[in-house]
Structure 1
Amino acid sequence: MYAAIQVNEAGRILGSIVATGDSIVFSESVISVDYDTYDDLLEQPNMGDLHWYDAGIVSARPVNPAVIDKTDCLADGVDTVHVTNIPIGATVSLGALSEVASVATADLQFDIAGTYELTVSLFPYLDFKATIHAT
């Protein structure tokens, strides 16, 4: 039995292949892996969501270090939600708005009551997600 994963240059797993015979063509982006070691992972459709390939090993993606101090705030334009430990270069999204982080903190204030979805993304970290309720 042959097993392989397809990865991009950052180590993101794009897909996996399990085959019998010699039908797999290996290349720079299609890498042979030991089926017996990774058989549980290879069968998961979301393998690349939770794992990555680094230094010849398939590993769990690290937890995003971002931290939020609260998820409920007043929609008064003053009460502040503090987000810290944002990885530099991460994309910080609040609904449809997004910015690339050049600093490790963000202070969020809301003038309009509502529910806001915050996401901090930077591969290989898992996405940090939080729902903020401004009332």
Structure 2
Amino acid sequence: MVKDEKISVIETHARLGGDYIPELINMASGLDLMGLWAQQIIGGNVSSVLVKPPEFPRYAAVWYLTDSRSGTVKQYTGVDEARRVPGIMDVHIEIPEQSSFKGTTDSFSRLASCLSVADTPEETIAAVKSAINLLQCEIS
């Protein structure tokens, strides 16, 4: 951004990863990568927070709802049920209802995602798979 001929923000390669990686790290460790990233962009010093690697006392996972069919996304069901699965932190509808859909071919064409956190890897994966299996998408 340029204001009064002064550059105040420049985007570089130092961006956060996709696929909910910052959220997963936060859920598993409490480390707020998005907050640290924002603080660093505006000139803050975050090195004191990153002196040692974070501890990960919990496990986090993301799972995606995909489909090979093409058509119009009519409606989603099971969203509220998926959100109630113990350990589920969030359910995201990635492709809105009434959108054209050509099947899942890349990370931008996933229908939905579920994020979970638990004390063991097995509990984390079980929760996220249970939640994603509750989601249904009508495509016609």
TM-score > 0.5, shorter chain as reference: no
Q: Which has the higher contact order (CA 8 A, sep 6+)?
A: 2
Write 1 or 2 for the structure with the bigger share of strand: 1
Q: TM-score, normalised by structure 2?
A: 0.27
Q: TM-score, normalised by structure 1?
A: 0.27
Write 1 or 2 for the structure with the bigger share of helix: 2
